[in-house]
């Protein structure tokens, strides 16, 4: 029970045309395009909704510039939705949205809405791997992708102005489960006991609320690499990646974009159950990335773009 994941993310942006170009290149599926509203979908029907940042009906921004204005969480059915809304109500976190539907505002000021999920299950088959004595891929070449086709909105990462309050909101009011934690600094949270490693990661940044990134799930490492190189070929700049996170185990590649904070392609994250052992970690660079390429890979030379990570965005 509880929420099942991110159903939609609403962005407020300055340049709708650039945002549209990015959504097309990112591999999202066009649902509708209008001057004041773009709707794109992932393979499972998750929605990326883009609005002009000064739209009067948008919830307020929690930071300057292009950013996420609302997150819509899905529940599997009416009963799960009712249970989750009951938990929010009990925590004193449920308010009435502008549209008359139940909503919540987290301690950062970010607006959340809730619905029975409109996403559908997508069956994907990652490329099997070969090892001596244990070939998983026989008489078959491994793929080289020329673009990504994002499966779902996997997670959102938030800078917490008040870390303790945000941790309390997402665990107690939203009912999320701790998968891993940097005590006092960061907490990885998943919606469901049996599910992907995190749907939200809350990162301490006292007094400065914000969105660190939004992540899209791909099939496997090959799609992360092929999709990332395709974005580089189209001129989009890497924030950091490709690389691999030791915590969650995922392969990643983050891009700057005109929707807001960096957007991430990722694949092969840990799947957790009741038996998953949450751990407490001490923050250090090698836990953000086992390895990573700061400037990305140039789409023409297929070599790294020489760069130093001076982003100051908490990659340590
Ligand atoms: Fe991520």
Is there a contact between 244 and 289 (Cβ–Cβ < 8 Å)?
yes
Phi and psi angles of residue 131, each rounded to the nearest 5 degrees, phi first: -145, 155
Task: Identify residues whose C-beta is under 5 A from ligand 1, the ion.
Answer: 215, 264
Over residues 172-179, mean pLDDT: 98
Q: Where are the domains of the chain?
A: 3-116, 152-292
Question: What integer pLDDT is reported at residue 235 of this predicted model?
Answer: 96
- 3-116 and 152-292 have identical folds: yes
**Cα 29 to middle of ligand 1, angstroms:** 21
Mean pLDDT of the chain: 95
- In contact, 206 and 305? CB cutoff 8 Å: no
Distance 201 CA to ligand 1 centre (A): 8
DSSP element (H, E) containing 249: none
Going from the Cα of 252 to the center of ligand 1, the distance in angstroms, rounded, reads 7
Candidates 3.40.50.10490, 3.10.180.10, 3.30.360.10, 3.40.50.1370; correct CATH number of 152-292? 3.10.180.10
Q: How far apart are CA 311 and CA 316, in angstroms?
A: 11
For 246, list phi and psi in degrees, rounded to 5: -65, -40
What pLDDT, on a 0 to 100 scale, did the predictor assign at position 306?
Answer: 76
The string of pLDDT tens digits covering residues 250-277 is 999 999 999 999 999 999 999 999 999 9
CA of 213 to the centre of ligand 1 (A): 7
pLDDT band at 193 (very low <50, low <70, confident <90, very high): very high
Distances (CA, A) of 181 to 69, 185, 210: 26, 8, 19
Q: Note if the pTM is more than 0.95.
A: yes
Confidence of residue 314 (pLDDT cuts 50, 70, 90): low
Which of 6-20, 85-99, 138-152 has the weakest average pLDDT? 85-99
- How far, in Å, from the CA of 162 to the mean position of ligand 1? 21
Task: Determine the angle formed by the axes of helices 16-26 and 221-233, rounding to 10 degrees.
Answer: 140
Residue 81: the pLDDT is 97
Give the distance (Å) from ligand 1 centre to CA of residue 316: 14
CATH top-level class for 3-116? alpha beta
Rounded average pLDDT over 54-74? 97
Percentage of the residues of the chain whose pLDDT score is greater than 70:
98
């Amino acid at each position: 029970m509880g929420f099942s994941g991110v159903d939609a993310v609403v962005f407020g942006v300055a340049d709708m045309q650039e945002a549209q170009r990015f959504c097309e290149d990112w591999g999202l599926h066009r649902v509708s395009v209008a001057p004041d509203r773009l709707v794109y979908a992932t393979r499972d029907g998750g929605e990326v909704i883009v609005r002009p940042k000064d739209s009067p009906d948008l919830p307020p921004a929690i930071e300057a510039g292009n950013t996420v204005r609302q997150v819509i969480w899905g529940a599997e059915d009416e009963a799960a939705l009712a249970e989750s809304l009951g938990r929010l109500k009990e925590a004193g976190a449920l308010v009435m949205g502008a549209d008359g539907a139940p909503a919540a505002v987290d301690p950062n000021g970010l607006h959340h809405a809730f619905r029975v999920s409109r996403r559908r299950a997508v069956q994907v088959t990652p490329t099997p791997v070969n090892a001596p004595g244990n070939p998983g891929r026989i008489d078959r070449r491994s793929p080289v992708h020329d673009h990504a086709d994002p499966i779902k909105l996997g997670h959102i990462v938030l800078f917490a102005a008040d870390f303790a309050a945000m941790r309390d909101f997402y665990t107690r009011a939203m009912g999320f489960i701790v998968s891993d934690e940097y005590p006092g600094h960061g907490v990885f949270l998943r919606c469901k006991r049996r599910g992907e490693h995190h749907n939200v990661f809350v990162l301490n940044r006292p007094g400065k609320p914000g969105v660190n990134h939004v992540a899209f799930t791909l099939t496997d490492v090959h799609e992360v690499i092929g999709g990332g190189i395709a974005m580089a070929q189209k001129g989009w700049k890497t924030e950091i990646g490709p690389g691999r996170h030791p915590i969650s185990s995922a392969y990643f590649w983050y891009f700057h974009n005109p929707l807001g904070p960096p957007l991430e392609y990722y694949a092969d994250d840990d799947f957790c159950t009741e038996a998953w052992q949450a751990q407490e970690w001490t923050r250090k660079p090698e836990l953000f990335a086992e390895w990573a390429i700061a400037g990305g890979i140039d789409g023409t030379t297929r070599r790294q773009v020489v760069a130093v990570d001076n982003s100051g965005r908490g990659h340590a």
